[in-house]
Amino acid sequence: MTHAGFIMEKLSALNAKPGDIIAVNLPEDNFIGVLMPHHQFSDPDILIIKLDNGYNIGLHINKETEINLVKKLVAQEKKQRAIPVDKTKPTIHIIGTGGTIACYVDYRTGAVHPATSSEDLAFSVPEIFDICNVKTEVAYQLLSENIEPDHWQILAEKIASALNNGATGVVIPHGTDTMGYTAAALSFMLQDLTGPVVLVGAQRSSDRPSSDAAQNLLDAVRVAAAGSIGEVVVMMHLDSSDAKTAIHRGTCVRKCHTSRRDAFVSVNTPILGYVDNGEITLKQAYRKPGNGPVTTDTALEKDVAIIYAYPGMKPEDIPEKKGLVIMGTGLGHISTSLVPRIKELIEKGATIIMASQCIHGRVNMNVYSTGRDLIKAGVIPLETMLAETAYVKLMWALTHGDTKEQIKILMKTDISFETPEKTYFNEKKR
Amino acid sequence: MTHAGFIMEKLSALNAKPGDIIAVNLPEDNFIGVLMPHHQFSDPDILIIKLDNGYNIGLHINKETEINLVKKLVAQEKKQRAIPVDKTKPTIHIIGTGGTIACYVDYRTGAVHPATSSEDLAFSVPEIFDICNVKTEVAYQLLSENIEPDHWQILAEKIASALNNGATGVVIPHGTDTMGYTAAALSFMLQDLTGPVVLVGAQRSSDRPSSDAAQNLLDAVRVAAAGSIGEVVVMMHLDSSDAKTAIHRGTCVRKCHTSRRDAFVSVNTPILGYVDNGEITLKQAYRKPGNGPVTTDTALEKDVAIIYAYPGMKPEDIPEKKGLVIMGTGLGHISTSLVPRIKELIEKGATIIMASQCIHGRVNMNVYSTGRDLIKAGVIPLETMLAETAYVKLMWALTHGDTKEQIKILMKTDISFETPEKTYFNEKKR
């Protein structure tokens, strides 16, 4: 979807391009900001401008709306640049999926560019070309809250194809909201990886002074080009400094803060490694790249849900699905009053998994009677596995086991480091 | 509910009392452990024994089951002890609700006692009587996963009555699973508190060497007896040491680990204070006790649910309720494909709140189009409020506002410190 014709006419009459500063006069308010490229999922009559505070807002424009050019910053069309090639260097593929990381400016000139291609994204951090050759493609351009299981499947195929066509590693710029879910899905869908698959996001877009986009992308490229790991990982800022990025295992990582750059946390396990001023350190045992070819196994059962338990939950609040992940309280509990409903659903064929809303720690349903009653009813406890990972794995396992017992065995078998043996608690107290 | 007659006969024939070590021979296995008191919510034919590993198991006993006494530890009936009274000291009330903290042993002699009264609990930590006079009562004996909103209401009345009858403060031993929900509920239900209301739990029961029960209870009593705070707070271990307990605000605290003693975390706010080797330090501004009387306002709308968003969620996964708290992704998002359903539910009269599954950080729905679409549909973002607290507050607000606008204003008005102004991130990275 593009801008409506009348918006394009207005902008064209002003010679206003994305990156220029414009003023929009609406009946209720006036806005001044940087003209942003049209987002493919916005309505045609929406104009997006970036305000001084760094936030983008979408404004409904009609034919009468007055738009003025305040400052011309973008002088001419961006020239097509050729990606340099150096045959002595490894080649990585960047597969774009959208998200904050894909809205960028050239961080030296400050000019805003639409991330119409992953190539643009690579050019926004030209140090990348010192490290490796880059091939780019765009899988889709989505805010990650709009990414659906179908998109995981598309992405898995593209990654396999990239690795089977000679890429040392793959970098996937991705929205942060559901990056953990995608990383978990890819961890189960991709087999015999011949190199690293690195998901990377940004909490703040490149036109904000505190942006983490360039650093995260550069370090993700470093890890992909190094080619040491045969796993799906997620890379984001390790702490509040700009020097370090963490390498998180794809099945154990979770967005644990809405806005901080170090929002991503490895749960129940230490981080796999980190990059500090360009130096990669791997701290844990990891899977080495295989000889390939990379294969995909992407079948998913989509009749699965996550349920969050709370006091006052009623039996009818637990829906009939082929699979359910319950985020129970504490060690993996729900109210005794709900056990008959759970039992009924399991008898009807549902596979029901118990995770904990505590997020951290191990589910253990043998300690209290409520847990034992649930086990007796057939609920499967998943030890240290994240609820989000359990959800993705259950979708996958339901298409891979023919009987309840096979599905249970699959869920309890550690396939991609999703069930850390020990637990580590990463919460800091004040 | 008590043991079945035949179990009582067997135990009586052996002169086996709770605290003695018994052996139970079942067809499939033999168990040796400490005989536990019958749990009021267990079936009459269940015998509970505590195994060497510290866990309790419930065993189905029938008339043929062989039970033997292995070691007699409890020689005689516990004598009724009189609680000492010292008129120069403040008086606190301990109102029992059940949970791990209420299963205790005398931690010096090692003998297991049933926590049939809060008095027993107080006697298990006799240092309490050096601090204050104690009045005790039991509101109910429940594992906290079985506590329902009705129980919050009962508890609020008992607390108000205790404070209005001269208690300096109230201590509420409580199961940890839903202690955060109860603390939030009491924070909204109790008005004009004349002293501290301290919820306290234990992650490990008193018969385990690593138990936190005695320390937590003692420090809770200290804070209640000091009488400085006119708020509902939660007290648990501050860190892995035994010397410090944290004082968490009732509306901002969450169980963030399944089993660690320092599982409770103040989210988006520093702790209110701590007790270190018996010394109370208050770090933040807090509400002083009022002159009373304490009043209660316990009406709750129970047609409310918490919904956890995930990729692949379908419109029909969002139920029709009077109130919904959505734990969205990131800054407070759900898939654009669900917005029509949200809109429909709001038009039908639902109040829908947005919190974040990130747990930490501020909800901000102005940054991305998905958030703005939800605000346009009428979803109410709750800034820094915990999803669990938002759930409890919504149940309360729905009975306190006549119009949608009044309910919205109530939800957005900070009533009991539930919306910290700044956010603090308590996650530690490795």
Q: How far apart are CA A175 and CA A288, in angstroms?
A: 27
Catalytic site residue A120? no
Q: How far apart are CA B24 and CA B35, in angstroms?
A: 10
**What value does the mean pLDDT of chain A take?**
88
Q: Residues of B numbered 228-247 whose beta carbons fall under 8 angstroms of chain A's beta carbons: which are they?
A: 238-239, 246
Q: What is the pLDDT of residues B300-348, one digit of tens each?
A: 999 999 999 999 999 999 999 999 999 999 999 999 999 999 999 999 9
Q: What is the pLDDT of residue A368?
A: 78
- Interface contacts (A, B; CB < 8 Å): 233
Nearest by CB: A335 against B42, B145, B363: B145
Cα first-last separation, chain A: 49
Q: Write the DSSP string, A138-201.
A: ES----GGG--HHHHHHHHHHHHHHHHTT-SEEEEE--STTHHHHHHHHHHHEES-SS-EEEE-
Q: What is the pLDDT of residue B39?
A: 58
Which range has the top average pLDDT, B66-80, B236-250, B321-335?
B321-335
Average pLDDT, integer, range B155-173? 97
Q: How far apart are CA B258 and CA A330, in angstroms?
A: 5
Taking 50 as the threshold, does the pLDDT of residue B110 lie above it? no
Which pLDDT band holds residue A81 (cuts at 50, 70, 90)?
A: low
- Identify the burial level of B198 via C-beta atoms within 10 angstroms of its C-beta, where 0-12 means exposed, 13-18 middle and 19 or more buried: buried
Average pLDDT, integer, range B402-427? 87
Rounded to the nearest angstrom, the minimum Cα separation between B357 and chain A is: 8
Percentage above 90 pLDDT, chain B: 62
Q: What is the pLDDT of residue B106?
A: 42
- Residue B2 in tokens: 């008590």
Average pLDDT, integer, range B105-114? 42
Bridge partners, residue B169, by sequence? B92
- Residue B411 in tokens: 């939800």
Q: How far apart are CA A357 and CA A370, in angstroms?
A: 16
Q: How far apart are CA A211 and CA B202, in angstroms?
A: 42
Helix (H) or strand (E) holding B359: none
Q: Residues of A numbered 150-179 whose beta carbons fall under 8 angstroms of chain B's beta carbons: which are they?
A: 152, 176-178
CB atoms within 10 A of CB B377: 18
Among A135-144, B391-400, B420-429, the range scoring the smallest mean pLDDT is: B420-429
Residue spans of beta strands (DSSP E) within B268-350? 273-276, 279-282, 295-296, 304-308, 323-328
Q: What is the pLDDT of residues B139-160, one digit of tens each?
A: 988 889 999 999 999 999 999 9
Q: What is the pLDDT of residue B430?
A: 34
Which pLDDT band holds residue A427 (cuts at 50, 70, 90)?
A: very low
* Nearest by Cα to B54 from B39, B40, B34: B34
Asked, colleague to colleague, whether B5-71 and B91-296 share their fold, the answer is no
Taking 90 as the threshold, does the pLDDT of residue B44 lie above it? no
Neighboring chain A residues of B358 at a CB cutoff of 8 Å? 255-258, 263
* Residues of B annotated catalytic, as ranges: 100, 176-177, 255
Bridge partners, residue A244, by sequence? A276
Catalytic site residue A100? yes
B331 Cβ contact partners less than 8 Å away, ≥ 6 residues apart: A177, A258, A259, B356, B361, B362, B363, B364, B365, B367, B368, B371
Bridge partners, residue A324, by sequence? A305, A352
Bridge partners, residue A142, by sequence? none
CB within 8 Å: B144 and A270: no
Q: What is the pLDDT of residues A217-276, one digit of tens each?
A: 999 999 999 999 999 999 999 988 888 999 999 999 999 999 999 999 999 999 999 999
Average pLDDT, integer, range B370-388? 94
Q: What is the pLDDT of residues A102-133, one digit of tens each?
A: 665 443 344 444 455 666 777 778 899 999 99
Q: What is the pLDDT of residues B171-203, one digit of tens each?
A: 999 999 999 999 999 999 999 999 999 999 998
Q: What is the pLDDT of residue A263?
A: 94
> Maximum CA pair distance of chain B?
73
* Nearest by Cα to A414 from A391, A430, A388, A390: A390
Q: What is the pLDDT of residue B265?
A: 93
Mutate to test the interface with A, among B40, B45, B53, B329 (most CBs of A within 10 A): B329
Q: How far apart are CA B62 and CA A133, in angstroms?
A: 73
Q: What is the pLDDT of residue A21?
A: 87
B304-412: CATH, from 3.40.50.300, 3.30.450.20, 3.40.50.40, 3.30.470.10:
3.40.50.40
CB within 8 Å: B427 and A265: yes
Query: Do the beta carbons of residue B60 and residue B28 sit within 8 Å?
Result: no
Q: Tell me which fold the domain B91-296 belongs to.
A: Rossmann fold (3.40.50)
Q: What is the pLDDT of residue A108?
A: 37
Query: Do the beta carbons of residue A100 and residue A93 sit within 8 Å?
Result: no
Nearest chain B residue to A373 by CA: give it: B58
Which pLDDT band holds residue A398 (cuts at 50, 70, 90)?
A: very high
Residue length of chain B: 430
- Identify the burial level of B195 via C-beta atoms within 10 angstroms of its C-beta, where 0-12 means exposed, 13-18 middle and 19 or more buried: buried
Q: Is the dihedral of CA B143, B144, B150, B152 positive or negative?
A: positive
R_g (Cα) of chain B, nearest Å: 24
A79 Cβ contact partners less than 8 Å away, ≥ 6 residues apart: none
* Chain A interface includes B327 (CB < 8 A): yes
Residue B111: C-alpha distances to residues A4, A127, B17, B114 (Å)? 79, 68, 11, 10
Nearest chain A residue to B268 by CA: give it: A257
Q: What is the pLDDT of residues A281-312, one digit of tens each?
A: 999 999 999 998 999 999 999 999 999 999 99
| Residue A191 per-residue DSSP state | E
Q: What is the pLDDT of residue B105?
A: 44
Rounded to the nearest angstrom, the minimum Cα separation between A84 and chain B is: 35
Bridge partners, residue A248, by sequence? A234
Can you list the alpha helix ranges (DSSP code H) found in A275-386? 339-347, 369-377
Query: Do the beta carbons of residue A317 and residue B308 sit within 8 Å?
Result: no
R_g (Cα) of chain A, nearest Å: 24
Domain extent listing, chain A = 5-71, 91-296, 304-412
**What value does the mean pLDDT of chain B take?**
88
Q: What is the pLDDT of residues A200-226, one digit of tens each?
A: 999 887 766 688 888 999 999 999 999
Q: What is the pLDDT of residue B243?
A: 83
Residue A292: C-alpha distances to residues A50, A163, A170, A195, B222 (Å)? 45, 9, 15, 9, 64
Nearest chain A residue to B47 by CA: give it: A369
B71 Cβ contact partners less than 8 Å away, ≥ 6 residues apart: B20, B21
Q: What is the pLDDT of residue A75?
A: 59
Residue A226: C-alpha distances to residues A59, A223, A283 (Å)? 44, 5, 15
Q: What is the pLDDT of residue A107?
A: 36
A72 Cβ contact partners less than 8 Å away, ≥ 6 residues apart: A15, A16, A20
Which pLDDT band holds residue A429 (cuts at 50, 70, 90)?
A: very low
3-state class percentages of chain A: helix first, strand second, coil last, to nearest 5: 25, 25, 50
Taking 60 as the threshold, does the pLDDT of residue B111 lie above it? no
Nearest chain B residue to A371 by CA: give it: B145
| Residue B210 per-residue DSSP state | T
Q: What is the pLDDT of residues A139-194, one digit of tens each?
A: 988 889 999 999 999 999 999 999 999 999 999 999 999 999 999 999 999 999 99
Which pLDDT band holds residue B217 (cuts at 50, 70, 90)?
A: very high
- Residue A155 in tokens: 């992405």
Query: Do the beta carbons of residue A355 and residue A377 sit within 8 Å?
Result: no
Q: How far apart are CA B45 and CA B393, in angstroms?
A: 40
Q: What is the pLDDT of residue A110?
A: 41
Antiparallel, parallel or unpaired: β B104-105 and A46-50: unpaired
- CATH class entry, domain A5-71: mainly beta
CB within 8 Å: A259 and B331: yes
Q: What is the pLDDT of residue A356?
A: 98
Tally DSSP H helices, then E strands, for chain B: 10, 23
Residue A342: C-alpha distances to residues A318, A338, A405 (Å)? 8, 6, 18
Q: What is the pLDDT of residue A430?
A: 34
Q: How far apart are CA A196 and CA A159, in angstroms?
A: 10
